[in-house]
Amino acid sequence: MLIKKLPRNTQGRDWAVGDVHGCFAQLSRLLKIVAFDPARDRLLSVGDLVDRGPDSPMVTEWLAQPWFYAVRGNHEQMALDAMRNPLEDQERHLRNGGRWLAELSPAELDACAAALSRLPLALEVEVEGGKIGVLHADCPGNDWTALAARLEAGDLDEQDRDVLLWSRERARNGGAGTVAGIDLVLAGHTPQPDAVLYDNVMHLDTGAVYGGKLTLFCPLDFVEVSLPSGFDHLARFELHELDASLARR
């Protein structure tokens, strides 16, 4: 499945997170700050959950949560390539922060490969009065409707895939035209000092793994909550706490 469509969340709030890059302790702290409720809320990810950061091996556990929806980023793609073709692609992944993958046990490696393989390239989320799209880098052709149709048909060429996973044109140029067929697109990939809206594309990568900050964004009311690197130790909020909260309901 190259695109996953989510119905409107009528019970709680949807939050979106920028590139995590293994900073899951920081993400846990952020979820506590916004009083994330796993029984009603959903967390959307623009991809690049892994590499460079200390908690990358936790990606399988996070992706198993029923309230967590992520798209594939270029780092997930590099990890998959390294697992499928180690002789050709492992070195590139290692250069880009992928050493954690080589330290997994065979069982952990299999579970990680299965979880990353299931990640779609895009999410389409119904919201009140419209819909939002979630992808990693950018929308090819600035046409969401056409992209969604190609993803549903499994008819995606390499150029489109490169734009989805690797393009930095919009973020570097401060815009690249409005994406048609969608109200708002959430993206990451290119670190910015702050979350920023170019055209109708909100860029959420604020460089957490590079000493910047990790950002949550609520598209319902455009609330943005960020946590600078180094502050996650103040109140670690592990996954089991979320599970316990859900079990009490």
18-42 tens-digit pLDDT: 999 999 999 999 999 999 999 999 9
* Mean predicted confidence (pLDDT) in 184-202: 97
What integer pLDDT is reported at residue 242 of this predicted model? Answer: 41
The pLDDT score that the predictor gives to residue 236 is: 39
pLDDT digits (tens, 9 = 90+) for 80-126: 999 999 989 999 999 999 999 999 999 999 999 999 999 999 999 99
The pLDDT confidence band at residue 223, using thresholds 50, 70 and 90, is: very high
Which residues does 24 contact at the CB level (< 8 Å), separation at least 6?
53, 55, 58, 59, 62
- The tens digit of pLDDT for each residue in 113-163 reads 999 999 999 999 999 989 999 999 999 999 999 999 999 999 999 999 999
Of 215, 224, 226, 46, the residue nearest 138 (C-alpha): 46
pLDDT at 245 over 60: no
Q: Report the DSSP beta bridge partners of residue 228.
A: 213
Distance CA 236, CA 238 (A): 6
Residues 6+ apart with CB under 8 A from 226: 194, 195, 206, 213, 214, 215, 216
Query: What would the mean pLDDT of 195-217 be, rounded to a whole number?
Result: 97
pLDDT reported for residue 45: 98
* pTM, rounded to two decimals: 0.91
pLDDT at 234 over 80: no
Specify the higher pLDDT residue, 129 or 177.
177
Percent of the chain exceeding pLDDT 90 equals 89
- Here the tokens at position 146 are 């056409």
Q: What is the model's pLDDT at position 231?
A: 60
Q: Is the pLDDT of residue 249 over 50?
A: no
Which of 3.40.50.300, 2.60.410.10, 3.60.21.10, 3.20.20.70 is the CATH number of 3-247?
3.60.21.10
Closest C-alpha among 174, 160, 206 to residue 3: 160
Buried b (16+ CB within 10 A) or exposed e, 45-71: bbbbbbbbbebbbbbbbbbeeebbbbb
Residue 248, pLDDT > 90, answer: no
Residue 241 confidence (pLDDT)? 40
For residue 237, pLDDT over 80 is answered with no
Structure tokens belonging to residue 222: 């455009």
The band of 239, judged by pLDDT with boundaries at 50, 70 and 90, is very low
CB-CB contact of 154 with 178 (8 Å):
no
- Residue 229, pLDDT score: 82
Rounded percentage of the chain residues whose pLDDT exceeds 70: 92
Q: Is 240 a catalytic residue?
A: no
Give the mean model confidence (pLDDT) for residues 161-185.
97
Q: Are strands 184-187 and 130-134 parallel, antiparallel or unpaired?
A: parallel
Mean pLDDT of 194-218: 97
75, 93, 136, 189: the catalytic one is 75
- Amino acid letter, residue 184: L
Query: CA–CA distance from 127 to each of 7, 10, 28, 154 (Å)?
Result: 8, 9, 25, 25
pLDDT, mean over the chain? 92
| Residue among 68, 72, 9, 22 nearest 214 (CA) | 22
